[in-house]
Amino acid sequence: MDTSLAEEVLAAWGAVPSSCKSMVDAAGRPNLATANGNGGANYACMRRMLCSAMLETDCFSDAVSSAYALDETEWLDEFGVTLGRPLQGLQRDPWAHGVYARLYEKGLILLNPRGNGAQTVDVTMLGAGRFKHFWGIQDPVTNNGANVTTVTLADAAGVVLVNRLRLQDLSGIVK
């Protein structure tokens, strides 16, 4: 998905984009359709595209823009986070307050679509004391290692959270 389509899709988001749905449905199992985006050094934009792709597919590919040399690789701190396998299927419906969520073995993806306004969600609904921000260097305001019980997402924002607990401590939380 190119940047203009991603922006168009996010602007029209009422549900997860039909273009992504049809791409994923056509790809079959496993869900390895790739959503491309290019946010460059705009970490919030790249994070939003990554979270959007991870709700609908099982991978993400960032396209290198003409502003970068072909031998440069764009990197997000989020690319180094090990989330494990998804514990839920593809997410096509909002979880809470219009915010989308997908639970993984070792973390959680949250995405607040464009036009939904800033939203605060209570992640303890998915397991008390379970999540925290990971430590990152590119955007230390967001990726600050802090434990969370609630997360406030700006309009058109995404975040990757990691588990504070081991997977065996979570039995009974995920259905």
Q: What single-letter amino acid sits at 119?
A: Q
Residue 123 has pLDDT above 60, yes or no: yes
Contact 50, 158 (CB under 8 A): yes
Cα 149 to Cα 127: distance, rounded to the nearest angstrom: 9
The whole-number average pLDDT for the span 145-171 is 84
Question: How is the chain split into domains, by residue range?
Answer: 3-77, 81-170
Kindly indicate the confidence band of residue 44, based on its pLDDT and cuts at 50, 70 and 90: confident
Q: Bigger pLDDT: 126 or 15? A: 126
Q: Bigger pLDDT: 117 or 128? A: 117
Helix, strand, or coil here: 104?
strand
Q: Which CATH architecture has domain 81-170?
A: Sandwich (2.60)
Cα 156 to Cα 45: distance, rounded to the nearest angstrom: 8
By DSSP bridging, strand 107-112 and strand 157-163 are antiparallel
Q: What single-letter amino acid sits at 127?
A: G
Kindly indicate the confidence band of residue 120, based on its pLDDT and cuts at 50, 70 and 90: very high
The pTM score is 0.70
Residue 30 has pLDDT above 50, yes or no: no
Percent of the chain surpassing pLDDT 90: 36
Helix, strand, or coil here: 18?
helix
What are the b/e assignments for 75-107, b being 16+ CB within 10 Å? ebbbeebebeebbeebbeebbeebbbbbbbebb
pLDDT tens-digit map of 55-107: 876 656 555 444 444 444 467 888 889 999 899 888 889 999 999 999 999 99
Contact 160, 152 (CB under 8 A): no
